[in-house]
Amino acid sequence: MLILSCVSKRYNDTIVLAPTDLHVPAGETTVLIGPSGCGKSTLLRLIVGLIQPNTGNITLGGTKLEPANLLNMRQRMGYVIQEGGLFPHLAVRDNVTVMARYLRRDADWIAHRLADLAQLVRLPMNLMSRFPAELSGGQCQRVSLMRALMLDPELLLLDEPLGALDPMIRYELQQELKSIFAKLGKTVVMVTHDIAEAAFFGHTLVLMREGRIVQTGPFKALARTPAESFVTRFINAQRGPMEHLAKVLQ
């Protein structure tokens, strides 16, 4: 589905991503995880073409990503960022449909699609005429997801989509997102630094550190057969508080 071969990125002398190979299988959720500055967001931004790699190729469904076909390729991807990135001067409806309208899709089709997506992310239709400033953080992320899904992309890219939400809303949205992904059968690449979230969503986890991939595999594989001691340290760092919590509750 999505194949990165030998993709690297550096700024002047700083290597932010060493030559990297990655294969993202269709219909699954692949989670990029690792400490801040490990290159996971860079990887995502390379895929969506916001930055250009210094070496290597990225292919999506057999088509190589190139500056010339960038605009078309982006229409085959949906991209959601932490704060939503909604256009503040456009109503929710216009935010979601902006690209479809630019492509002059049929108005009825657009209206139907909008209604379907609103139902999917469980937003009432009367919210569609509000502006982003009038929405809660969780609602913003739902709208952002609608916008990303509008053109029914093959690939969904999410950069810390729940990072800015408070824990309860975050929990609620985690459940919903997972069921949406399952329902749509989309290929998803998600970035997070929360190991529990990664384990919850990811069929495959890609643990990164200092610009390179340390280990790829399901959470269980990472936990049981760590490729190096960093893997265990990374997992344990977030396990501590939870085990403490579990003890208290017992």
Partner 1 sequence: MSISRLTRMLLLAFLATTLANQVLAAGESVRITVGSKSFTESVILGDMLSQLAQSTGIEASHQQQLGGTRVLWNALLSGEIDAYPEYTGTLMKETLVKENLQTEAQLKQSLAAHGLRMSRPLGFNNSYAIGMKEALAARLKLRKISDLRYHPELVLGFGNEFMDRADGWPGLQQRYQLPHQNVRGLDHDLAYRGVESGTLHVTDLYVTDAEITYYNLHTLEDDLDYFPAYNAVILYRADLEQRAPEAVTLFKRLAGRIDAQAMRELNARVKLNGEAEAVVAASFLEENLALDIDLQVKTAWQRFWQHTREHLVLVGISLSAAILVAIPLGIVAARYAHAGQIVLGIAGIIQTIPSLALFVFLIPLLGIGGPPAVVALFLYSLLPIIRNTHAGIRDISPAIVESAQALGLPSRARLRIVELPLATGAILAGIKTSAVINVGTATLAALIGAGGYGQPILTGIRLDDTGLVLQGAVPAAVLALLVQGVFELVERRLSP
* Contacting residues toward partner 1, per CB under 8 A: 48-50, 71-75, 77, 79, 81-89, 98-99, 102, 131, 147
CB of 205 to partner 1, least distance (A): 24
Task: Tell the smallest beta-carbon distance from residue 245 to partner 1 (Å).
Answer: 33
- Residue 85: CB minimum distance to partner 1, A: 3
Nearer to partner 1, 142 or 209 (CB): 142
Task: Give the list of residues 6+ apart from residue 107 with CB closer than 8 angstroms, or none.
Answer: none
| 40 vs 142: CA distance, rounded Å | 23
Of 168, 169, 191, 184, residue with least CA distance to 82: 191
Residue nearer to partner 1 on the CB measure, 40 or 147: 147
- In the complex, minimum distance from the CB of residue 163 to partner 1, in angstroms, rounded to a whole number: 12
212: number of Cβ within 10 Å: 15
**Closest residue by Cα to residue 157 from 30, 21, 16:** 30
Per the CB < 8 A criterion, the answer to whether 187 and 2 are in contact is yes
In the bound state with partner 1, the residue whose beta carbon lies nearer, of 18 and 51, is: 51
Sheet order of strands, 55-60 included: 14-24, 2-11, 55-60, 63-64
What residues contact 249, with CB distance under 8 A and at least 6 apart? none
Exposed e or buried b per residue across 157-189, where buried means at least 16 C-beta atoms within 10 angstroms of its C-beta: bbbbbbbbbeeebbeebbebbeebbeeeebbbb
- In angstroms, what is the minimal distance from the CB of 81 to partner 1? 6
Nearer to partner 1 by C-beta: 159 or 197?
Answer: 159
Closer residue to partner 1 (CB): 64 or 244:
64
CB of 112 to partner 1, least distance (A): 20
**C-beta of 54 vs 75, nearer to partner 1:** 75
